[in-house]
Every structure is written in structure tokens, then in C-alpha cells.
Amino acid sequence: GEETKGSLTSGFTFSSATEAEKKNQSRRKQELETMQTLYRAAKRRPHSVKSLLLTNVPGLKRLNTFVSDWADYAKALHWRRNTTLLLPAAHMGNTVSALVFQPPSATYGYTRRYFFLVTAMHNRIPAFFIPCDKAEYTVLFSHGNAEDLGMIYDWFREVSRRLQANVMSYDYSGYGISEGEPSEEACFADIEAAFAYLVNVKKISPSKIILYGRSLGSGPTTHLAVKQSSLEQPVAGLILQSPVLSMFRVVFNFRYTLPGDLFCNIDIIEQVRSPVTVIHGTRDEVVPFWHGEGLFEMCPQEWRCKPLWVTDAGHNNIEAYLSTFGDDFFQHLIEFVHVCHVTATIRAAEAAEQKALMTGKTV
């Protein structure tokens, strides 16, 4: 029954498995196996690891650190009977998050254009709301990596005008002038705070809100769409532009989801109960085109709407590419909003009929 401790390498210890440790042993083993898999893949294709950043980061120091980190972990993987390796899970999470999230220097300041929300993680994050007098729907946009609100505001004024919709967007924790550090959990709290503002302050029904996520933003967007579907308060629709199946899959074509992966849209998209459209460039150099195709195929067939595959477009130039050849981008969005409207109308009629039936039974 005595606990035996010893040093494996800096920051690592092992001990005989107590009852408490046995409870978590499987999870820890999975985490370590994940690191082994990533390390082996990184050694085979180290040049591709930079894709995990989802942005062009100057220099290779971060990449070299990534590979050497996995090497250190791999050297520490010594499995023995009746022993368990105690991995600081937070260190693993921080390593992945540091690679995935790349907030730029803030491109805006404290102006009347932005207001602040407080998230469930107690971070203050800025947001903007662009009203449209004739709006029936509101678009809640989650931006991509290496972006902030200052970079997208003018573009979404045009989106609001063309779609005749209100538009709201927000910065992730740690982006722009937000508080906190970026993480998957923080992103989920951020979008939920923005959504709560629309519902509770602006008094907009979830059935009138269209979620729109680009690149990294597809993660929190899909998360919220699934959450609302599970609450039987589905949103009006879901637009996914250059979305990820999951973050690890951006670099490695894994068949299964590994522990520690982030924004695993592939595992939850089938739970969405709202119209979904996917937009992706066929020559996307950051998030491969097959991510968009795969996510589209995983959508429930009854909610799957016409996708927009932009021939020869990359990751960051879909809007600019289409504007050169016509209005296909906005036309696609306008048609999708119409689909959302038809769906909402049918749902409202079904709800009214159900209410009438229930009332009739109680009379």
C-alpha cells in the first residue's frame, strides 16, 4: 500500500496506482498515447505542423518548440505494470492551445462602436451590433484566427446591408481588447455570452438568429447550434465557412478523434436541428477542402442545404475571389436566409398546431 515516487524527467512522476488514480488512469493513458501519435506524425511531416497554427506565424521557433515538446514527452513514456504516469494535463492543453490560438495585436481601441459582455468565465469581451431597420433575422458571426473585430467591422456593415439583417460579432477571450486567455472552453463561453445578449437584451428569438462561423469560428458556432438543438430551441440556421472537422485533423488525417483535440465539429454536427450551409475554397491552403466536404456530408440530410464550393479559392480570399466574378457569395447567403425563413415558418405553424391540439385535449 505504500506509494512509490521517482523522477522520470523534469515535471514527471510515477506512482503505484491508488483507487483514486485507477479512476483516471484510462484518461491519462489516452492523453499520453495522443502525444505519442502526434509526435510520430510530426517527425514524419514536420513541415505540415505549421498548418495547425491556422495562420502564417513569422519564424520557426514555435514550430521547433512544438516538435521538441513532443520529443520530450515521448522520452518520458515509460509504462510499467501497476504504475501510472502522472502527466500535468494542463501543460498538454496549454501547448495545444498556444499553437491553435494566434490572436493578433489589437487593431482597434475603446470606441463607442464596441460594447462589453461578461462571460461565464468572468472575462470581459468586446462586441459590436450593426442594426438594420428592415431586419427579420440577426447574424451572429464568429471570426477566424488571427482576426479581431477591428478587421471585420466594415465588411459586416456591407453584409448587413446586402442581407437586410442585423449583424453581431464578438472577440474571443484574449483577442483584440478582450480579457482572459483563449481556449476552447473560453470560446464556448464567449459565444454563449453573445447569444445571451441577443436573446435577453435585444429580445431576439433563437429562431431568428443565424449563426455564422469562419475557420476557427466554426468550432464555437457548431457548439452553440448543437446546444440550442438539444434544448429544443434551435437557431434559424448555421453558416460554416472554411470550417474544420477538428483541429488535429487540420494537420493529420486521423480516422478517429484523439484525446486533447479541439473543436471536434465532426463528432457533433449530426446533432444540429437547423438548416446548414457550408462554404469552402477548393484550394484552401490552411484548412483543406476535404474538411468542408466531410462536414457537409456529416450534416443530417434533412438539414443539409446547398453548399458553395468556390473553385480555385483559398482560405482567406473567398469573398474577394467571388466579388471578382460576380455576386455568387451574397446570392448564396440570400438564398440560404430564405431557406431559414421557410423553415422557421413551417416550425411556427407546426408549433401552433401542436398547441391547438393540446388546448383541445384539455377543454
Residues annotated as catalytic (active site), given as ranges: 215, 284, 315
End-to-end Cα, the chain, rounded Å:
69
Helices of type H across 45-106: 61-75, 89-100
Integer Cα distance of 323 and 38 in angstroms: 39
Integer Cα distance of 285 and 20 in angstroms: 45
Q: Are strands 124-130 and 6-7 parallel, antiparallel or unpaired?
A: unpaired
- Using the structure block, give the residue that is written with the C-alpha cell 442585423: 166
Residue 345 CA: distances (Å) to CA of 134, 235, 269: 18, 13, 23
**Strand blocks (E) in 171-318:** 209-214, 237-241, 276-281, 308-310
Query: Which amino acid would we find at residue 93?
Result: G
Let me know: does 213 contact 142? Beta carbons within 8 Å: yes
Residue 211 has phi, psi (to 5 degrees) of -85, 135
